[in-house]
């Protein structure tokens, strides 16, 4: 497993991705994910996108399973990394299609995928993470926060706080994401850039019409109740999100250890 990492093609830019946005940035928790490799169980990169995170892991000698729901992206990556035995590519769709055996991985990176899952899907996904992680393995998740600055005009935080009074464990969801963005634009005197971003999102093929954004403590509670110990939890900036206004708490960052 010592093959060198294939050099990216000059055209290796964000893919025309059918599973959501394929960002060209490295995950902020990349070092924690790489450090979770135990030398025996491979790492799993869920929603690998442009494979930026997997590339970083390969550079350290780790073995990586890179997973996507976009079959065209999988085929492109197979061509790009042909001959590299450190990495393999797999179709995966959370939570119902996770084609791996129990206790298979030492670390899971799930980067910007939870947005496209319902409450029930998130719960089922966390169960699957616990199943496929080796004991002591880590689930490392980044996802949209309910504190996203651009969303505050739409009252998302207040709406989800009210929901938690009635259903403390139920995770929030924006039912019609495109309409929600349209309403924000109408309330916020949009700039030309904001309008262009909205037009891009409207034309983009997203995996769902809804969008989830999370309260960090609430998400951590789901992991805790399903057999994980929380090692790290905070929020931080995510300037790569395709929004017209960014804040310091746009992204949830969570590291959970399988008990």
CA-closest candidate to residue 27, choices 227, 255, 225, 186: 255
Number of residues assigned to the chain: 259
pLDDT in tens, 86-120: 999 999 999 999 999 999 999 999 999 999 999 99
Query: Whole-model pTM?
Result: 0.87
Q: How far apart are CA 178 and CA 172, in angstroms?
A: 16
Task: Read off the pLDDT band of 10 (50, 70, 90).
Answer: very low
Which contiguous run of DSSP H or E holds residue 119? helix 119-132
Q: Residues of the chain with pLDDT > 70: what percent?
A: 85
CA distance 155 to 168: 18
CB 60 within 8 A of CB 33: no
CB 106 within 8 A of CB 137: yes
Is the Cβ–Cβ distance between 53 and 141 less than 8 Å? no
pLDDT attached to residue 4: 31
Q: Which of 19, 15, 21 is nearest to 76 (CA)?
A: 15
β-strand partners of 88: 65
**124 SS3 class:** helix
The per-residue pLDDT for range 56-72, each reduced to its tens digit, is: 999 999 999 999 998 98
* Residue 34 pLDDT exceeds 50: yes
Residue 108 Cα distances to 57, 82, 140, 162, angstroms: 12, 23, 6, 32
- pLDDT confidence bin for 24, thresholds 50/70/90: confident
Domain boundaries, the chain: 30-258
Element (H, E) at 144: strand 133-144
The percentage of residues in the chain with a pLDDT greater than 90, rounded to a whole number, is: 61
Edge to edge, what strands does the sheet with 105-111 contain? 87-91, 64-68, 43-46, 105-111, 133-144, 251-258, 228-236
**So what's the pLDDT on residue 197?**
67
pLDDT at 218: 95
CA distance 158 to 152: 9
The pLDDT value given to residue 6: 33
pLDDT band of 51, cuts 50, 70, 90: very high
CB 98 within 8 A of CB 128: yes
pLDDT tens profile 187-197: 776 677 667 66
**Mean pLDDT, all residues of the chain:** 87
Residue 16 pLDDT:
53
Instruction: Write the class of the CATH domain 30-258.
Output: alpha beta
Mean pLDDT of the 6-10 span: 33
pLDDT greater than 50 at residue 8? no
| Burial (Cβ within 10 Å: 0-12, 13-18, ≥19) of residue 49 | buried
User: Strands, DSSP E only, in 174-250?
Assistant: 228-236
In tens, the pLDDT along 130-159 reads 999 999 999 999 999 999 998 888 888 888
- The bridge status of strand 228-236 relative to strand 251-258 is antiparallel
Residue 2 pLDDT > 50, yes or no?
Answer: no
Question: Is residue 60 classed exposed, middle or buried when 0-12, 13-18 and 19+ CB atoms within 10 A define those classes?
Answer: exposed
Cα atoms found within 13 Å of the Cα of residue 56, Cβ hemisphere only: 20
């Amino acid at each position: 497993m010592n093959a060198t990492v294939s050099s990216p093609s000059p055209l290796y830019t964000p893919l025309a991705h059918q599973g959501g946005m394929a960002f060209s940035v490295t995950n902020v928790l990349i070092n924690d994910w790489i450090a979770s490799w135990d030398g025996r169980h491979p790492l799993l990169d869920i929603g690998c996108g442009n494979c930026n995170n997997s590339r970083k892991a390969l550079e350290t000698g780790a073995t990586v399973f890179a997973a996507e729901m976009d079959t065209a992206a999988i085929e492109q990556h197979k061509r790009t990394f042909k001959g590299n035995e450190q990495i393999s590519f797999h179709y995966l769709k959370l939570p119902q299609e996770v084609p791996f055996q129990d206790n298979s991985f030492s670390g899971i990176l799930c980067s910007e995928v939870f947005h496209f899952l319902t409450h029930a899907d998130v719960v089922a996904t966390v169960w699957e993470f616990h199943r496929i992680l080796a004991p002591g393995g880590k689930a490392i998740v980044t996802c949209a926060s309910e504190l996203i600055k651009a969303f505050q005009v739409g009252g998302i935080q207040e709406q989800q706080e009210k929901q938690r009074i009635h259903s403390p464990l139920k995770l929030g969801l924006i039912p019609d994401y495109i309409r929600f963005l349209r309403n924000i634009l109408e309330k916020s005197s949009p700039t030309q850039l904001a309008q262009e971003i909205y037009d891009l999102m409207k034309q983009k093929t997203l995996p769902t019409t809804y969008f989830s954004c999370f309260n960090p403590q609430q998400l951590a509670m789901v992991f805790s109740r399903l057999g994980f110990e929380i090692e790290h939890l905070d929020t931080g900036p995510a300037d790569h999100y395709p929004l017209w206004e960014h804040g310091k708490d746009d992204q949830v960052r969570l590291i959970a250890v399988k008990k």
